[in-house]
Amino acid sequence: MFVAVTDLPAGDRSAAPTLAAVGIAPRTRAAARRRGRLAGKLVPYLYLLPAVVLLAVFSYSPLIQTLGLSFFKWNLLPTTPQRFVGIDNYVRAVTLPEVHQSLLNTVIYILALAVFSIGLPLVIALASQQVRGRWKTLYQALIFVPYLLTPVATSAVWRWLFADGDGAITQLLGGIGIDVGNIWRDPALAIVAVIIAAGWQLLGFGVLVISAGIAGISPDYGHAAALDGAGTGRITRRITLPLLSPTLVFLALMTILLAAPWTFSLIDIITQGGPSGSTTNIYYVLYQFGFQSFDTGLSSALGVLFFLVFGIIAFVFVEITERLSFYDN
């Protein structure tokens, strides 16, 4: 409750606090503090705003549009009206033989590329710990170079290496009595060639990630175990691998989610999914339906289904990771 200065006796007015000093100034300071606290809470979100805007424009908006197109039949021509078909596109997506073949091939790609992205890189990274000095830097640079090459260039090189008759690999195999013929026209060998080409390019990435994971493990654990009589193999099994599990789980998740995109360029440039669909994968089938057959609704339905399936896999994988991974705390 505030008292006006004019209500006081004349002799007491000079000593009385003004209305601003009693009421307005504290209110102003409190409001300023509230504004400061609010601004402090908003600042972190302002830093995130550009990334959120880019995600909304380039990821979430196309996803919403894809979901809408999945319920229509349309051939991408602006002059052709979109015709609502309900869930017919989803029914076709789960019943087409081409989709079943692409799913089987995608599983094969995932299992095979896991050897090149996890198995071999783990062996190479552990063995390379014995290399010291500049030689180690040179070795890591050389093994990582293939990952930096463009898919178009590597596809052209591998198409020549496996070419019938004059390819370097086919000539080498012929020299030891193995006649493979035209690998790219053989349904059984074409997918093997794609796996080898993609695996060669991914090997350096896996080695680099695992080497970084090993570098983050404190050497004190190994030294303490060695003092207790543990050998190199036992230290690797009981200390290095458990502490390296978050890195290995990350590479496993990357392989599951990205095996199809990693092989897409090779398939598109060399085999176009053939022969007889033996090298296709789910992403290439989606591309064929959308931009070669111009069946936008079917392609969109496949995209939505793939998004849901891989999203569930990623969620489950992350949850399993939190339960099974060992961390160096």
What length is written for the chain? 329
One-letter amino acid for residue 140 of the chain: Q
Q: What's the predicted TM-score (pTM) here? A: 0.82
> Which comes out higher in pLDDT, residue 300 or 246?
300
- Given a cut of 70, whether residue 329 has pLDDT beyond it is no
- List all residues 6 or more positions away from 188 whose beta carbon is below 8 Å from its beta carbon: 278
pLDDT band at 65 (very low <50, low <70, confident <90, very high): very high
**Residue 304 pLDDT exceeds 90:** yes
Fold of 92-324: MetI-like fold (1.10.3720)
State pLDDT tens for residues 134-183: 777 777 778 888 888 888 889 889 999 988 878 888 888 888 878 878 88
* CA separation for the pair 214, 128 (Å, rounded): 11
Residues of the chain with pLDDT > 70: what percent? 88
Alpha carbons 229 and 233: distance in angstroms, whole number: 12
